[in-house]
Amino acid sequence: MTATDLPRPSKSIVLVGLMGAGKSRVGRQLATQLGLDFVDADTEIEEAAGCTISEIFERYGEAAFRDGERRVMRRLLDGPVRVIATGGGAFIDPATRAHVGERGISVWLRADIETLLARVGRRNNRPLLANGDQREKLAQLIKERYPIYAEADIVVDSTDGPVRDTVEKVVAGLESFLAAGSRDAGAARRRR
């Protein structure tokens, strides 16, 4: 199965998961393979605010960032079908999660702590990891968030190695998900 055989999804594909899970890198390649546009919600938030995410946290606090994130996610989900890479906290917000449920196909890129740590590295562009021990903070986020990410429509393990391997797993997950959806729709039509 190649991506081009995939029926065109009628909803945006929304990549969720922790910082370092590969949402942007996988999202960009996935969009190219599917012939869809790609959009990064964090970049959209920064453009709307006219400053970086770290600056938003510093100047206005996390709650203000989350408000902006919710608004941007709503706008993106209400727009054309595309691949959307979310920030790690977006899907944790109940309103955004409900909206993703209606308007998108959610894909959780699940990664273990070693993979996440290696990927977030020493870059200082993530306010939640800027202070304190990154391993401890990520372990805490895994505990809090993984049960929520698990509500995604599709779960894919994002492991070390070429991005295209993870992209292929997402494509396979989408294929099964879309096939199950059309089987359900067919069964519902036959019941009517």
CB of 71 to ligand S3P, least distance (A): 14
User: Rounded distance, CA 20 to CA 116, Å?
Assistant: 5
Nearer of residues 3 and 86 to ligand S3P, judged by Cβ = 86
Give the angle subtended at the CA of 93 by the CAs of 113 and 75, to the nearest 5°: 115
Site stretch for ligand S3P (CB under 6 A), options 82-90, 94-102, 151-159, 164-172: 82-90
- What are the φ/ψ torsions at residue 81 (nearest 5 degrees)? -65, 130
Could you say which residues in the range 108-137 bind ligand S3P, by CB under 6 A? 126-128
Could you tell me the two tokens for 110?
């699940």
68 binds ligand S3P (CB under 6 A): no
Member of 9, 22, 27, 88 binding ligand S3P (CB under 6 A): 88
CB of 116 to ligand S3P, least distance (A): 10
Instruction: For the chain, report the end-to-end CA distance as a whole number of angstroms.
Output: 32
36 binds ligand S3P (CB under 6 A): no
CA 68 to chain centre: 17
Site stretch for ligand S3P (CB under 6 A), options 83-91, 99-107, 159-167, 176-184: 83-91
Q: How many CB atoms lie within 10 A of CB 177?
A: 16
22 binds ligand S3P (CB under 6 A): no
Q: How many CB atoms lie within 10 A of CB 143?
A: 9
Nearer of residues 11 and 25 to ligand S3P, judged by Cβ = 25
CB of 23 to ligand S3P, least distance (A): 6
Give SS3 for 32: helix
